Amino acid sequence: MKQIKDRFLKYVQIDTQSDPESQTTPSTDKQWNLARMLAKELQEIGLEEVSIDENAYIMATLPSNVAHEVPTIGFISHFDTSPDYSGTGVKPMIHENYQGQDLVLCEKDNIVLSPSYFDDMLLYKGQTLITTDGSTLLGADDKAGIAEIVTAMEHLVQHPEIKHGKIRVAFTPDEEIGRGAHKFDVDKFGADWAYTMDGSQVGELEYENFNAAGATVNVHGKIVHPGYAKGKMINSMLIAAEFIEMLPNKEIPQETEGYEGFFHLQQMKGEVEQTRLDYIIRDHDMELFEKRKKQMIRVAEQLNAKHGEKTVEIEIKDQYFNMREKVEPVMHIVDVAREAMNELGIKPIVKPIRGGTDGSQLSYMGLPCPNIFAGGHNFHGRYEYVPLESMIKATEVIVKIAEKVASKGM
């Protein structure tokens, strides 16, 4: 317990926030600080073929310790944290023997993590919760996954009596901005399949995710002195508000769940002459996903018909697709993870990801890659937390999967 706790606390205190506006890989230089540390640590625990490329992708090998042929499997996590909330100066707080009470993160600013709002906290009575101090995110997404993979590999090195095939591990930059797999060398990685350790609640096992696109809406107006604006001024902010209102107001993240898709306004910035709206579009069903994109284009066309040609310009770019299509033909890779959890007394929660992982892109690049829980909750904000016991269970799942693949031969 102390081993994985110390490792995780060390990782989260290194700022690795990614930047969607940057065109470099990694998108921020500070990601290199943890990347180089991880490469060194993988060597120190006894892994082989440790490499870190010019884009900060880290790969390493735990050689097989069995004589018979076993598929090569992989475990992957990302080391960047979300640009949605500050990752600078993370000061994790440890709450031992949690009993279901409110946790005061910052008394001065009255920031409280409460089970009355975040009822998942009640699942972890008697356990150790690691939280933020209310001023930053925590970074369990996905430094918990990294801590689990490193700890599992170290355990396998130290316990050669546990039989396993060749295992590859990889840590990636820029997953939070949708680029985690963009420069991932699948051939170099050389695994038959892999798992991302990037889920939330204990037991999560996911092989379906959103189809995803980003949309940038630029609205053009005309500035005129407001005292003489009659018939002349075009206020782009008001037209942008029309655009927002013309989309279904119940098809937003806070009103949807399960397989329900949404339009999410992530950011808006405007003045009279120019307003920009940044949306993400999500749906598990490809047909509905395509309809959502067309719906946004249709709204722009309707506003242009009303306010003038090119008043509203929209650009939509696909980001990733539902991995289900690539995983279903090889469902044994999901089954072995499910069996591993069952044998450890963990109830598998098989459900669609309301998001995406590196695995969604990697699956389309030839590396089928379901997602397994890493244990954290409330990602991307000040209320993020992770139970220490959940990280231990995730570590045990990694070890058990490796053991089962070797015993089955698959």
- Which amino acids are annotated catalytic? 80, 175
Among 287, 355, 360, 348, which residue's Cα sits nearest to residue 324? Answer: 360
Structure tokens that stand for 62 in this block: 């735990």
93 vs 130, 262, 380, CA distance in Å?
6, 34, 17
Question: How many helices (H) and strands (E) would you count in the chain?
Answer: 10, 17
CB-based burial label for 55 (10 Å; 0-12, 13-18, 19+)? middle
Measured between alpha carbons, how far apart are the two ends of the chain, in Å?
Answer: 32
The span from the CA of 211 to the CA of 322, in Å, is: 5
CA dihedral 318, 324, 327, 331 (to 10 degrees): 170
Strands 371-373 and 204-206: what pairing? antiparallel
Among 405, 331, 318, which residue's Cα sits nearest to residue 368? Answer: 331
CA dihedral 29, 31, 33, 34 (to 10 degrees): -170
383 vs 77, 111, 132, 194, 403, CA distance in Å?
21, 9, 7, 30, 36
Order of strands across the sheet that contains 204-206: 48-52, 58-62, 167-172, 73-78, 193-199, 371-373, 204-206, 349-350
Structure tokens that stand for 254 in this block: 């806070």
The span from the CA of 260 to the CA of 252, in Å, is: 9
CB distance 121 to 15 below 8 Å = no
Structure tokens that stand for 28 in this block: 């921020």
Tell me the sheet residues that pair with 195: 75
Tokens 């040609």 belong to which residue?
309
Is the preceding omega at residue 142 within 30 degrees of 0, hence cis?
yes
